[in-house]
A = this chain, B = another copy of it.
Amino acid sequence: MKKITLLFSFCLLSISAAIAQSISSPDSDLQMEFSISEDGSPVYKLDFKGKAVIKPSKLGFDLKEEEDLLNGFSIKDTKTSSFDETWEPVWGEYKEVRNQYNELEVRLLQEATSRELVLRFRLYDDGLGLRYEFPQQKSLGHFVIKEEKTQFAMAGDHTAFWIPGDYDTQEYDYTESRLSEIRGKMESSITANLSQTSFSNTGVQTSLMMKSDDGLYINLHEAALVDYSTMHLNLDDENMIFESWLTPGAKGDKGYLIAPTHSPWRVVMVSDDARDIPASQIIYNLNEPSKIDDTSWIKPMKYIGVWWEMITGKSSWHYTDEFQAVRLGETNFEEAEPNDTHAANTEHVKEYIDFAAEHGFDGVLVEGWNIGWEDWFGHSKDYVFDFVTPYPDFDVKEIQDYAASKDVEMIMHHETSSSVRNYERHLDTAYQFMKKYGYNAVKSGYVGDILPRAENHYSQWMIDHYLYAIKKAADYEIMINAHEAVRPTGLARTWPNLIANESARGTEYQAFGGSKPNHVTVLPFTRLLGGPMDYTPGIFEMDISKLNPDNNSHVNSTIANQLALYVTMYSPLQMAADLPENYMRFPDAFQFIKDVAIDWDNSIYLEAEPGDYLTIARKEKGGNNWFVGNVNGNDNRMSSIKFDFLDKDKVYIATVYSDAPDAHYKRNPQAYEIKKYRVDHKSKINQMSVPGGGYAISIMEASKDEAKGLQKL
C-alpha cells in the first residue's frame, strides 16, 4: 500500500511539473507562476521585472471536521484567458477605469477526497489577484474553515507601514518598521480603543504597504469581501512569510462556506513607482459591476455637521444627566431636565443649516438627535436606540422643512452601539423614517463590542450584516457612510450607495490625543485602496482646549495640510468638520473648501512616497478646473510639480494655499499663505511644505482678461 502511494505521488509530481503554468501581466512586467509541490500543495510565485515579489508560497485551507485542503492535489485542467474592458464608475477618481488582465484558472483535484478546488489568478499591470473557488460537487457542500493558509513569502526584510492585526478595530496610527521589527513594536502600537481584540505579536492588517530595499512598492490587501471573514496577515518573521489569518466568529470558527462559492480576492499590488499604488484601481476591478441599475440618486456630497463640538467635548450627544440608564419606550424624556450641552437642538441645527446654505454645502449631519445617548456605550445594551425617536428639543419636521427651504439636505445618523440585532430589527422603520423626512444619506456607526456577543467587527457574521444594511439601503435609495465597519475592499463598485467608510484612524483622533503628523501620507497607500474614507478633514483650530478647556489635545496638522486633504483623501463624501465660527476666522483659507470639487474626471498622482509625501492633481467632474493637494510627512520638503496636465489651449488662475515658511504642525499650525498666479500647461511650481503640512491649489479656468495682472508661474 505504501509503495503504491509513493508511486502515485511521483506521478503527481511529474504531471504537475509538466503542466505548471505561468502568465504575464499585459505590459509583461509581472510574471506569475503556478505549480504543484512534491506533496501536492498548490504553490504560486510572483516577479516584477525579474525581481521576486512573492517567493514560492503555498495556498490552501485547514478545515474543521474534515480533510484539509492543503495538499494531495493534482492539476485536472488549466485555462488561460485575457480580459480588457473599460467601465464608468458612478463616482470616483476617474471618469473611466480600465480593467485589463490575463487570467489563469487552475482546476485542482484532491484525489483522496474527490474534492475539486479552482484557483483563479488575474494578473494586472499593477498587481495580482487570486482567489479560491469551490465548485458545485458531490464531495463538498457545507464546510467550516479552521484557517485559510494563503502564504505571501516576502523576498526580504522590507520596510512596512502597518497597524496591529485586530478583530475589532483599525483605528490605529501606522508604525513604520522593518518586518523583523514588527514583533518588538507590536505592544506599543496597540493603543487603546473602545473595542479591540488583537491576536498575534506579528499579526497586521491589510492593506499592508511595504517597500523593498531594491525599490519595489508592494501592497497586500483583499478585494470583494463578501460572505467570508476578514483577512489579516500573520508574519513568520524568521522566514518573512505572511500567512492569511481570518477573523473568527463567536465559536472560534473562521468561516462557514457552502459550495458553490469562492473566497474574496487576495491582492498583491506592486510597482517600482510609489505613485502607482495609490493610483491603482485593481481593488475595484476585482469587484463585480454595480448591482444598482438606476444610480441617479447617488450623489457625492460636501457637508458640515453637528459633530466636532461633541468629539472635542464642547457639547454632548446626550440630552439629560438625569438617568443612570435609559429604557426606550419607558424612560420619559419629555419631563427630564435637559443638560446645557446637548448640541442637536433645533435652534442650533438651524444655525448649521444657515451656514451650509450660505457657503454652498450640500448637507448637514446631526449626531445625538435621537433618544438613548445617556447610556449608549459600554453596557452591552441590546435595545439601545430606536432610530426614529428624537429628543424633545429636536424637531425633525421643522428642521427638515427649514433645510429644504434653504436647499440643504439633512444627513441621518444611526449609531448602532454595535447592537446589531437591534439595528436590523429597526432597519426598515429607520430607513422609512429617513425617506419620510427627506434624508437620503446616513452615517452609521458600530462603536463598542458587537452584539450578538462574542462576535467580532470583522467576522463573517458582521461582514454579512454590513452588506445587508447596504443592500436594504439601496432598496430605499439611501446612501451609506458606515463608521467602525470593516475596511472597504472595493465593494462600492458593486454597491455605489456605499459612498464612504471610516474604518481607519480618522480626524476624531486629533481630538483624542492626536495622530502622527504623517498619518495622512500613509492612508492613501493603505486604507484608501479599498474605498473612500469619511476622514472628516478641515480642522482650522488645532488647539482643542480653545473649544473645550478640559481637552488638551492638539491637531497635528497645519491648516494648509487640512486643505490638501480634500484632494489627497479621495471621497465622494467630504466633510468640513470644524465649527462654523472657526471657519469664519479664516475665510480666505475656507474658500478652498468651498471651491474644491468632490467628484472627478481624472486624477494624476504627481509625487508619492508612503509616510513622506503625496501630491495629486484632480480634474473636476464635467468641468475644466483642477485641484492639487500635497500632504507632507515629518520633515520639511520642497515639492516640485509641473502643470503639464492642463489643457494646452487654456489659461487658468491658480490659488496656492501653502504653509507659511515658519509653519509647523505643532508649533505654528495656523500659519499659511495664499497666493494667486496665472498658470498654463507649461507652468511649474516649487513649493515648500513643513512637517505635518502641505499645500492645496485651486486651478480655475479663466479668460485672459481675468488672469491679466497675475504673476505667471
Contact = CB atoms under 8 A, between A and B. Distances in A.
A421 B249 CA distance: 15
Contact of A141 (B144, B260, B375): B375
A476 interface: no
Nearest to A455: B452
B425 A428 contact: no
A136 B455 CA distance: 31
B382 A327 contact: no
Interface stretch (A167-175, A206-214, A251-259, A283-291): A251-259
Contacts of A382: 256, 461, 464
Given A380-B144, A381-B142, A454 B251 contact: yes
B136 A258 contact: no
Contact of A452 (B144, B330, B452): B452
A136 B324 contact: yes
Given A249-B453, A251-B454, A425-B424, A381 B256 contact: yes
A483 to B, nearest CB: 22
Contacts of A142: 325, 375, 379-381
A82 interface: no
A151 to B, nearest CB: 28
Contacts of A455: 250, 452
Contacts of A591: none
A453 B421 contact: no
A137 interface: yes
A261 to B, nearest CB: 8
Contacts of A324: 136-141, 259
A468 interface: yes
A453 B379 contact: no
Contacts of A461: 382, 452-453
Nearest to A250: B454
Majority secondary structure of chain A interface residues (helix, strand, loop or mixed):
loop
Contacts of A256: 379-382
A250 B452 contact: yes
Given A325-B259, A380-B256, A461-B452, A425 B141 contact: no
Interface residues of A, number: 39
Interface string A214-258: 000000000000000000000000000000000001110100101
A699 to B, nearest CB: 49
Interface in A124-152: 136-142, 144
A336 to B, nearest CB: 12
Query: Which of A140, A249, A452 counts the most B-chain CB atoms under 10 A from its CB?
Result: A452
Contacts of A326: 258
Contacts of A139: 324
A491 to B, nearest CB: 18
A424 B454 CA distance: 19
A421 B468 CA distance: 11
B250 A327 contact: no
Interface string A392-428: 0000000000000000000000000000010011001
A33 to B, nearest CB: 33
Contacts of A261: 327
A326 B141 CA distance: 8
A356 B228 CA distance: 47
B452 A381 contact: no
A464 B419 CA distance: 14
A611 B377 CA distance: 51
A555 to B, nearest CB: 34
B380 A327 contact: no
Interface in A259-276: 259-261
A171 to B, nearest CB: 23
A141 B321 CA distance: 13
Nearest to A468: B425
Contacts of A464: 382
Nearest to A325: B141
Interface in A319-349: 323-327, 330
In the complex, which of the residues A251, A253, A256, A325 has the most CB atoms of chain B within 10 Å of its own CB atom? A325
A258 B144 contact: no
A291 to B, nearest CB: 13
Contacts of A260: 327, 330
Given A421-B424, A455-B452, A258 B141 contact: no
Given A142-B375, A251-B454, A258-B379, 12 more contacts: A142-B380, A144-B380, A249-B453, A250-B452, A250-B454, A251-B453, A253-B380, A256-B379, A258-B381, A260-B327, A382-B461, A421-B452
30 contacts: A137-B324, A141-B323, A141-B324, A141-B379, A142-B325, A142-B375, A142-B379, A142-B381, A250-B452, A251-B453, A253-B380, A253-B453, A256-B379, A256-B380, A256-B381, A256-B382, A258-B325, A258-B381, A260-B327, A260-B330, A382-B461, A382-B464, A421-B421, A421-B424, A421-B452, A424-B424, A425-B468, A452-B452, A452-B454, A453-B454
Interface of A: 136-142, 144, 249-251, 253, 256, 258-261, 323-327, 330, 375, 379-382, 421, 424-425, 428, 452-455, 461, 464, 468
Pairs A-B, 3 closest by C-beta atoms: A141-B324, A452-B452, A141-B325
